[in-house]
Amino acid sequence: MTTPSARGTLCAGRVVAVTGGARGLGRAHALAFAAEGARVVVNDLGVSLDGAGASSGPAEEVVTEIRALGGEAVAHGGDIATTDGAASLVGTALDAFGRLDTLVNNAGFLRDRMLVNLDEEEWDAVMRVHLKGHFLPLRHAAAHWRAEAKAGRRPDARIVNTSSGAGLLGSVGQGNYSAAKAGVLGLTLVAASELAAYGVQVNAIAPAARTRMTEQTFATTMAAPDTRDAFDAMAPENVSPLVVWLGSAASAGVTGRVFEAEGGRITVMDGWRPGPTADLSARWTPTAAGEATRKLLAVAEPPLPVYGGR
């Protein structure tokens, strides 16, 4: 983070809530927003990598960092995958700073297993924190912004959701995580359409960075460079500039988009688009459908490889 004397103004006057804001990407985002003048609500339960335990310490540490550098921040320790926790996140922003302008949904953990070993509890836990943990804060923030718009105070609001290469391409051993992150993409597209009338823009990122969730699973890919002066492409701080811009008023007109962010690279993802098509204008037989499909696949683009933490 920059020093107070070098603080930017891109987000001056804005209030930003970051879920999972105490470590990894969330911490980097919170510090980067504060460095651009935002007042920040740092949400984090302080759980372990698999979601066990809880501690207010990690969120408070980030708040202390921000304040030490001349910024303003408060901690929020509620569980954003519950209605009360998500509602209190919005309430904390309003109580502390009088407004909420940007929501960054980032919280998550892993329960990795191959599908034949993945049990129901591990599926539900990951779906809960990643997908429900996106929906509930989004829903409560959106309700606040809709009320503001209907009261004649149209917001200039932003939501930045966090998907993954696993959600875009799948990831072996992460069926629950991949499904949840794919769900985040669908939620993003619907929210962008539904909330536009209230002055809310909604986008998603698919980051690749070194965090607690990736440094073990993709240890070789995520390793820091050996030399001190080399560019650390997997540092989570590399992703935050895009998130800050998407969360600022400067991103006006950008909504319903998905971006990959890794190192110094930003990619606009195209998503599902129609490819080769055959139309019989009548009902196919199974054999004829298969023959037509084979011909279509022969001229279609091959699928991208399964995500490997790149």
Active-site residue set? 164, 177, 181
**132 secondary structure, DSSP code:** I
Task: State both tokens at 237.
Answer: 């701080």
Helices (H), ranges, the chain: 24-35, 57-68, 83-97, 120-127, 133-150, 165-169, 175-195, 219-222, 240-246, 286-299
Three-class secondary structure of residue 170 per DSSP: coil
Burial class of 179 by CB neighbour count within 10 A (0 to 12, 13 to 18, 19+): middle
d(CA 306, CA 169): 5
Task: Write out the H or E segment, with its range, that includes residue 213.
Answer: none
User: How would you classify residue 46: left for phi > 0, otherwise alpha for psi between -120 and 50, otherwise beta?
Assistant: left
- Count of alpha carbons within 13 angstroms of residue 77, beta-carbon side: 11
d(CA 286, CA 75): 59
Which residues pair with residue 160 across a beta bridge? 104, 203
